[in-house]
Structure 1
Amino acid sequence: MNLLLDVGNSYLKWCSYEGLRKGEIFREAYGADIGVWLDRCWQNIEQPASVWISSVAGEKVDTEVSRWVRRNWLIESEFVVSRRAQAGVVNGYRQPEQLGVDRWMALLAGRAISHQPCLIVDCGTATTIDAIDAEGRHLGGLIIPGLEMMKESLLGGTAILELEDAESIDFVATDTASAILSGGINATKSLINEMRDRLSKKLDQPVLSLLTGGAAGQLLDGVLLPKRHEPNLVLNGVAIVAGLRDNA
């Protein structure tokens, strides 16, 4: 059994692979002491033959996770990294290592899904939007605050109190909670659709929007066709790098 991890800023997702067969995917928020959290969550997990990790959580968390794996399973973790080119994708960054590894994994997985031009949209703590053409060239991307971060920035920078009972509204809202929630959702959807239209015109081809991440479900309805919800692009990219999933 091989264990694959996607360590984000707030959540850890993991799944096992037996040969080429993927097991159940788990997603949990982790606390400040991730070692204690792993003791609780992984106390009954089967010992894997290898552990592959995509992490944007920083050195402290990475060290704690790899130390836990070494102490409990006596193996060294394999951390995936962003590269100049891999699995049919060419990195568009001038310094490839500066592209977030989660974005790189999502690009590899997106390329495996479709060889048409795509927008890869990862809706997490931040929302990232990356463009890739039909030849697998990453053209670059944008980063904006995620939906929760947008809300927290308003709550932190104004006299607005904590909001409850917010409702997503298509047009205009008649309460503050819904106005803030809908403002973030509609601003993000509009940016995705604008980028999709501009990329389609630039390449003179249809563009597929692939949405992943915890907040993707809140954005999906307003994103223009063609589109697909792919909840586990990052883990799928890790599986490609680990040789557990086909990249074609």
Structure 2
Amino acid sequence: MILELDQGNTRGKWRLLRVAPAGVSQVVTRGAFAPGPWWSAEHLPDAWFQHRPTRVRCGNVAGAQVAQQIATRLQQEFAVPVAFARVSPECAGVTCAYQEIGRLGVDRWLAVLAAFARDSSPALVVDCGSAVTLDLLGDGGRHLGGYIVPGLGLMRRALYADTDAVKVDAVFSRGMPLVPGMNTEQAVNHGLPLMVLGAVEMAQRELLRQLQSVSGTEAAAPRLLVTGGDGAFIASLRQTPNHSVVEVVDELVMDGLAYADLAEI
């Protein structure tokens, strides 16, 4: 039984996998924590004790101190070490574009590894969380770098903090039309996802430009994989009759743990 953790800046998600003798993994149960230090809570999820993990692997972007606290708590509860994913120059057929690999968020790396493992063709990998990250994956598993922009929540909080009259509640629904707002509420609630979609569109154009520059011929539209807490919402807003098919993969980061370099602390 393997416990997998995806510890983000805001919250953590988890799932328990049962690995069959043939190596096929089956998700037994999954869950998510409320924002905050779950590793300090009096009680951990009951499922962890019902299906006691014999291995733990984790993708953590919340810093070294959080990693140490997670490792200590799980060692105390289950007497198993925690293996943390790390970014490496090359892994599972993917080469990292960053010159300083330690500066690339491990969640981005895991999502790219999982995207390549699903299909080795080029892709744009978009993680819509506290920040929105967009990573370009070219031919042959070449990571081509990426972009980081504020997520929907961060953009809204910036408007709250730095404006007087633009303080509105979030009113989002999947598939909502992003027509120009006829009042401040609409202007904000349509404008924020429009910003994210604009970043996605420009990143797709850049990936396609690079693919065509290398091949010298017209390239097929790359795949678009979307994950993260706001991923399904953002994906529902795209109209893509002449663009790449959108794949929403809720646990893309955790999927990447199976392919990553792991190290205990």
2:168, 2:188 within 8 Å by CA — same for their partners in 1? no
Aligned to 1:50: 55
Percent of pairs identical after alignment?
A: 27
The 3-state SS of whatever aligns with 1:115 is: coil
Distance 1:165 1:145 in 2: 16
2:198 partner amino acid: S
Counterpart code for 2:39: G
Q: 1:76 is matched with which residue: 73, 81, 96?
A: 81
Equivalences for residues 148-159 of structure 1 within 5 A: 148-159=153-164
CA RMSD of aligned residues (A): 1.9
Aligned: 1:231 with 2:250:
yes
Report the CA distance between 1:111 and its aligned residue. 0.2
**What SS is found at the alignment partner of 1:29?**
coil
Evaluate the alpha carbon distance shift between residue 73 and residue 53 of structure 1 in structure 2; reply closer, same or farther with a 3 A threshold: same
SS at match of 1:47: coil
* Counterparts of 1:42 and 1:179, CA distance in 2: 41
2:204 is aligned with 1:196 = yes
Q: Contact 2:122–2:139 at 8 Å: present in 1 too?
A: yes
Runs of 4+ in 1 over 4 A off after TM superposition: none
Counterparts of 2:126 and 2:160, CA distance in 1:
25
Say which of 132, 142, 146 aligns to 2:151.
146
Post-superposition offset of 1:104: 0.4
Instruction: State the match for 2:215 in structure 1.
Output: none
- Conserved? CA contact 1:54–1:80, under 8 Å: yes
3-state SS of 2:259 partner: helix
**Cα pair distance change 1:202/1:165, threshold 3 Å:** closer
What TM-score, normalized to structure 2? 0.85
Number of corresponding residues: 241
Matching residue of 1:246: none
AA partner of residue 40 (structure 1): H
| Superimposed CA distance per residue, residues 36-76 of structure 1 (whole angstroms, 9 cap, x where no aligned partner) | 33x33424523211110100012232222111101111121
- Segment drifting more, 159-168 vs 229-238: 159-168
Contact 1:169/1:178 (<8 A) preserved: no
Q: Which residue, 231, 238, 244 being the options, matches 1:216?
A: 231
Distance 1:78-1:150 versus aligned 2 partners, 3 A rule:
same
Q: 1:94 aligned to 84, 94, 99, which one? A: 99
Q: C-alpha displacement at 1:22, in angstroms?
A: 2.3
For residue 181 of structure 2, what is the aligned residue in structure 1? 173
Compare 100-109 and 194-203 and name the one that shifted more: 194-203
Aligned mate of 2:31, from 23, 26, 33: 26
In structure 2, the residue matched to 1:35 is: 39
What is the TM-score normalised by the length of structure 1? 0.90
- 1:169: Cα distance to partner? 4.2
Q: Which runs of 5+ in 1 are unaligned?
A: 244-248
